[in-house]
Structure 1
């Protein structure tokens, strides 16, 4: 039977999995597949695996339990190997890489930060600081048929929005990166100009969260900074 893989840990990592079940209905029985150095927490993979709420919650519960006792390499939901022997082979072949990554993650937590700014505020700032955009804006109001000027205005505003978002995102990361071990940039969303994950030492987590709060207050009500975590360190695996 195929093997569903939840996470990889050191071989001596505590695995307090009593009371937990894995994915599937009924939930699969959890077990460990080990080499001398590494361990993978697995279960039998159901044939009809889907990203249902119950299965996502079961996957997450296993990760949170393992993370509470030390460095854990979380696998994405849905990772399946042919069988237990294949999992053992991968652990042996990639032992040095997994061991190095576990060492880097030891004592660390992941936090994801998303930052947004009110669109009207940003546009007011752009218009106020660009004479060319103000000129085109007034011209197209007076001449609504001027399609070329409308296209030029839209292009200028779009380029300026992108440039300012990138600059603000870079500045924000630089101001917060000192409180983290590493950071990993994600793709911005339609609502957020910044989507970044930080790897933070467990003992520095409260200070990092406070730094984000202070940065949010410094920037004012026009900005919304949302911090999610602690999370499984997917961004650093």
Structure 2
């Protein structure tokens, strides 16, 4: 039967699994797959597993219990191996890599920050700063500009938006870097200019959250910051 993998930890890591349910209906029992250096917390993989709320919560509950006891490599929901033997083989093959990553994650959690700037405010700034864009916009608004000028205006505005988003993302990343150990960029969604995950020392979470709040206050009301965490450090596994 396929094996569902929740997490990988060190061989001496406590495994507080009593009373916890695995994924599936009925819930699968949890078990430890061991090598001399590592252990994978696993269970049977139910057929047709989907990201239902109960299963997502079961997966998260196992991770949280393990993380309270020390460094844990959290696996994303739905990770399945062919069988226990394949999982153990992977632990043995990648032992040095896993142990190095566990050492890095020890005592850390993840926070994710997404940032959006009000589009109208950004366009006003661009119009104020660029004489060329102002003049093109006026000609197209009054009907004096032709098709080519409208295309040029759209291209110039798009380029300015992308460049200003890039600069603001870089500045925010640099300003928050001292409060975190590492950061990892994610794909930005519609209208976002920042989607960044931070690896933060567990004893430094209050300082990190305060640093994010200072940046939100500095940027002002035309910016929306969404901070999520603490989370298992998925982005750094």
Q: Name the TM-score class by shorter chain.
A: over 0.9
Q: Could you say which residue in structure 2 is the equivalent of 1:119? A: 119
Residue 57 in 1 paired to residue 57 in 2? yes
Residue 169 in 1 paired to residue 169 in 2? yes
SS in 2 for 1:17: coil
Residue 138 in 1 paired to residue 138 in 2? yes
TM-score (norm 1): 0.98
Q: Could you say which residue in structure 2 is the equivalent of 1:79? A: 79
Structure 1, residues 138-189: CA drift from partner, whole Å, max 9, x if none? 0001117721111111110000000000000000000000111111111111
Q: Could you say which residue in structure 1 is the equivalent of 2:18? A: 18
Matches of 1:226 and 1:82, distance apart in 2: 38
Query: Which ranges of structure 2 fall in alignment gaps of 5 or more residues?
Result: none
Q: Could you say which residue in structure 2 is the equivalent of 1:213? A: 213
Residue 229 in 1 paired to residue 196 in 2? no
SS in 2 for 1:99: helix
Structure 1, residues 25-77: CA drift from partner, whole Å, max 9, x if none? 01100111111110100000111211222111111111111111111101111
Query: Which ranges of structure 1 fall in alignment gaps of 5 or more residues?
Result: none
Structure 1, residues 109-166: CA drift from partner, whole Å, max 9, x if none? 1111111111111000000100000001100011177211111111100000000000
**Aligned residues, how many?**
237
Cα RMSD of the aligned pairs, angstroms, is: 1.0
Q: Is the 8 A contact 2:109 2:231 kept in 1?
A: yes
Matches of 1:51 and 1:35, distance apart in 2: 30
Q: Is the 8 A contact 2:139 2:145 kept in 1?
A: no
Q: Is the 8 A contact 2:31 2:43 kept in 1?
A: yes
Structure 1, residues 2-30: CA drift from partner, whole Å, max 9, x if none? 11000000111111112211111011001
TM-score (norm 2): 0.98
Matches of 1:144 and 1:188, distance apart in 2: 37
Matches of 1:194 and 1:168, distance apart in 2: 8
Matches of 1:20 and 1:53, distance apart in 2: 16
Matches of 1:131 and 1:61, distance apart in 2: 56
